[in-house]
Structure 1
Amino acid sequence: MTPPAARSGTGQPAELYFEDLVPGLTVDLGVVTVDGDEMVAFARRFDPQWYHVDSELAGESRHGGLIASGFYTVSLFMRAYVDHLLSRAAADASPGLEELRWLAPVRAGDRLAVRVDVMGARPSTARPGLGTVSLTGTMLRLGPDDRPEQEVLRTRFRGWFAARPTEGDPPAGDLPETGTPAADLPETGTPGAEVPDGGPAVADVPASPTSATSADGPPSAPPTVEPHN
């Protein structure tokens, strides 16, 4: 019997599975430009602090103008993550995140390069057919020459991804829903927790090569998963 097609995070047939998300893989999530009107509208709805919404007060302050709500910035990250990875991957739910840091102010017109690095991956012992993947996400402000100037966001989180189906496997969506399994919680000394900010060396993976952005210098060209619209 042919196994049913797994769905990506946006409901389309998946092309990437747990086995493809190997430690060392860098996934380029493209470049996003901060829209000033959207930035302020988000803050007015969800985070109406004066330095996010009052241009006069913000201009007279040490901020020198409006800055984005950190939750708006992480929402931009999430959209890029969905568009360029989860839309292709057999993604399940996420058990949570371990770190979310806003490292520098974000302003209207900023161009932010987005990427994720796979830090660790292991089969789930509590949810057969799924694997737990540990990821680090970063956003880097680009200068006029498209070279990275400053890291503005970093987050460490985990996601569940379905294993590549084999004949006779049940669909991942038929697994019983449970809370976060204790076996899948982070362990002391989880690999990748102490990896330097620049990210891991990229391992050979079954993906198309494209350039990866590094905070430590000009773009290099290790194997990556190419972003898709």
Structure 2
Amino acid sequence: MFFEDFYPGQTAQFGAYLVTEAEIKEFAGKYDPQFFHLDNEAAKHSLFGGLCASGWHTASMFMRMLIDNLPEEHGSLGSPGINNLRWLHPVYPGYILNVKSTVSECRLTESKPGVGLVCMNYQVLNQDGLIVMSLESKAFFKSKNI
């Protein structure tokens, strides 16, 4: 996908990421060692009512699905950042996550010839359609016309 392949209002849905207890604990042990991500029994008495993934783990699973969705030949050049990252609901073992994307804006950059900026709104949903995370992102893409 290149800059010209995007247009405002365009939507896509992709991914099927199975969240496992082992991966939740492995990620938390390395990066977010809070009891509700590591200890099944203690997590039952938390605000979440059970073991759940770190929000940062959820963001990482989103990123994996996003990259896996790119075709082999693509013009992705990275991102200057994200806005409005929200963890809306806990992510529990056994969830199957997917992503819905909506393009909100496309424009060529003035400072980087041959590069376009694509603004996207993302929702990460579980298998029941519950939105567990949302964010806005901007990404640079090569233009086909250069």
- TM-score, normalised to structure 1, is 0.61
* Structure with the higher fraction of residues in helix conformation: 2
Q: Could you tell me which amino acid in structure 1 is paired with residue 64 of structure 2? A: R
8 Å CA contact 1:32–1:114 kept in 2: the answer is no
- Choose from 52, 55, 59 the match for 2:40: 55
Gap runs ≥5 in structure 2: none
CA distance in 2, matches of 1:83, 1:60: 36
8 Å CA contact 1:30–1:80 kept in 2: the answer is yes
> Considering only CA atoms, is the larger Rg found in Structure 1 or Structure 2?
1
Bigger relative contact order (CA 8 A; separation at least 6): 2
For 2:87, the equivalent position in structure 1 comes to: 102
- Choose from 134, 137, 142 the match for 1:154: 134
- The percent of aligned pairs where both chains have the same amino acid is 36
* Structure with the higher fraction of residues in strand conformation: 2
Offset, 1:43: 0.4
CA distance in 2, matches of 1:57, 1:80: 30
Q: Deviations over 1:71-98 (max 9, x none)?
A: 0001110001001026442011211111
Alignment of 1:162-173 (within 5 A): 162-165=142-145, 169=146
DSSP-derived class of the 1:142 partner: coil
Offset, 1:44: 0.6
8 Å CA contact 1:29–1:85 kept in 2: the answer is no
- Choose from 99, 111, 121 the match for 1:114: 99
CA distance in 2, matches of 1:96, 1:61: 32
Structure 1 runs, 4 residues or longer, greater than 6 Å off = none
CA distance in 2, matches of 1:48, 1:63: 15
Q: Deviations over 1:24-83 (max 9, x none)?
A: 111222221112101110001000011111212111233221111000001110001001
Answering whether residue 14 of structure 2 is matched by residue 17 of structure 1, we say no
* Number of equivalent positions: 146
Alignment of 1:1-229 (within 5 A): 16-85=1-70, 87-143=72-128, 148=129, 150-165=130-145, 169=146
Q: Deviations over 1:178-203 (max 9, x none)?
A: xxxxxxxxxxxxxxxxxxxxxxxxxx
Q: Deviations over 1:123-156 (max 9, x none)?
A: 000000000110111111123xxxx2x1100010
Offset, 1:115: 2.1
8 Å CA contact 1:77–1:114 kept in 2: the answer is yes
- TM-score, normalised to structure 2, is 0.93
CA distance in 1, matches of 2:12, 2:76: 15
CA distance in 2, matches of 1:72, 1:87: 25
Q: Could you tell me which amino acid in structure 1 is paired with residue 63 of structure 2? A: M
Change (3 A) 1:60 1:98: closer
CA distance in 1, matches of 2:93, 2:87: 16
Gap runs ≥5 in structure 1: 1-15, 170-229
CA RMSD of aligned residues (A): 1.4
